[in-house]
Structure 1
Amino acid sequence: MDPSPPGAATPLRADAARNHRRIVEAAAEAFESDGPDVPLEEIARRAGLGVATLYRRFRTREALVRAVVEELFAAEVEPTADVDTGDPWADLVGALSRALDVIAGRTVILKLARDSAAYDVDTVHRYGRALGRLLDRARDAGVVRPELTVRDLSAVLIMAITIARHGDPGGADRRRYLGLLTDGLRPAPEPLPPAGPESS
């Protein structure tokens, strides 16, 4: 089994791979609990490693944030779209709901990623392709608007997480508003207005 972490260019030795994962996991927890400015020394302490080891693996905070985001997408977001129960509508809505739950629990990390442009294009595209497969199946089954795109699904996720109030640990608001939004994905007599150009 390849011990390389997601996004690694070359395989790491087993001990280096373990240290990488410990640092990334500790960073993810520290960012969410202590905020985006948590010192790297605190992340190293949580990982049970010396700060010198952290700096050998990640020379900048941005590099560490990128690794955390890659791991988040690979381990938590991408699997939400890996489903095929034979019910294309339930699969699509279920995937959006699970992704929304992940995003709601990782708001600090995702804000850090946006602020530091730490999103890896390949990582985001992999998730987009997975959503696209669910959308294609739903479109072929006639249970969604034929003009829908993956960009529309991304907008649904963003709107749902934006309008859900904070302090909703059970996710009742998220499920309510996602239900309202996903109803708009169903076939309708009139097509949606055309979308504007995507930003580069």
Structure 2
Amino acid sequence: MTATDGHGLRADAARNYERIVVAAGQAFEEAGSAVTLEEVARRAGVGVATVYRRFRNREQLIRAVFQHIVAAEIEPAMAVETDDPWRDLVSSLEATVEVLAGRKVVLAIARETRALDLESMRRFVATMDRPLRRAAEAGVVRPELVARDLAAVTIMALATVHPRDPGGADRKRYLALLIDGLRPAPTVLPPPSTPDVHGV
């Protein structure tokens, strides 16, 4: 009987998939969008045919890289729970921004190629739902907040990332400012656009 992972992939195929996606993420960050699937295969230590069998084009590969970042690095940060829901929410947002700040090239390529599809964004937003609900139940955030508000906070903080700030002082400063706006306030936020506008 062939060993499989939770997605029905044979164990060796799952390992190859992981190697390809990790190698692709590193290659894109180091060399930009010019990286070929052949170069990804070389870095992953697999045959070119293996890469093409799993990913028909660069867009599929970039989408897989983003999904892997969410699953391997962001979801675990969001899953951490202590007896302080506010601190958990803040920590998860800080961790998310730090992870994505280190993947600016991948994110830029994903936007350019439209690889960030509806399903990828829904999964990204969904990771933020539980820490937000816990904070809302504890009464430490605005009750009208929804998970996509946290996604917007993340995106706004990432907009302050720039090469002249390698230590991340600006993203930390403005993320703290944005997070402060999540606290309960006497005024209610204006409603968001309909979900169909962003698909989430």
Shorter-chain TM-score bucket reads: 0.7 to 0.9
Aligned to 2:176: 179
Distance 1:116 1:164, change over 3 A: closer
Aligned to 1:136: 133
Q: Does 1:21 align with 2:7?
A: no
- Percent identical among aligned pairs is 55
Distance 2:70 2:138 in 1: 28
The alpha carbon displacement at 1:161 in A equals 0.8
Structure 1 stretches lacking a partner, 5+ long: none
Distance 1:15 1:83 in 2: 30
Give the match's secondary structure for 2:157.
helix
The alpha carbon displacement at 1:147 in A equals 1.3
Q: Counterpart of 1:54 in structure 2: which amino acid?
A: V
121-130 or 39-48, which moves further after superposition?
Answer: 121-130
Deviations, residues 73-119 of structure 1 (Å, cap 9, x unaligned): 11012112112111111111110000000110111212222233333
66-75 or 160-169, which moves further after superposition?
Answer: 160-169
Contact 1:84–1:91 (CA under 8 A) maintained in structure 2 = yes
Q: What is the aligned residue count?
A: 195
Give the match's secondary structure for 1:35.
helix
155-164 or 55-64, which moves further after superposition?
Answer: 55-64
Contact 1:164–1:177 (CA under 8 A) maintained in structure 2 = no
Aligned to 1:58: 55
Give the match's secondary structure for 2:166.
coil
104-113 or 162-171, which moves further after superposition?
Answer: 162-171
Aligned to 1:92: 89
Distance 2:77 2:172 in 1: 16
The alpha carbon displacement at 1:44 in A equals 1.3
Distance 1:73 1:130, change over 3 A: closer
Structure 2 stretches lacking a partner, 5+ long: none
Q: Does 1:3 align with 2:5?
A: yes
RMSD: 2.1
Contact 1:70–1:119 (CA under 8 A) maintained in structure 2 = no
The TM-score with structure 1 as length reference comes to 0.87
Distance 2:115 2:10 in 1: 25
Aligned to 1:79: 76
Q: Counterpart of 2:108 in structure 1: which amino acid?
A: K
Q: Does 1:112 align with 2:109?
A: yes
The alpha carbon displacement at 1:121 in A equals 4.4
Distance 1:116 1:108 in 2: 12
The TM-score with structure 2 as length reference comes to 0.87
Aligned to 1:150: 147
Q: Counterpart of 2:148 in structure 1: which amino acid?
A: R
Aligned to 2:161: 164
18-27 or 177-186, which moves further after superposition?
Answer: 18-27
Q: Does 1:48 align with 2:45?
A: yes
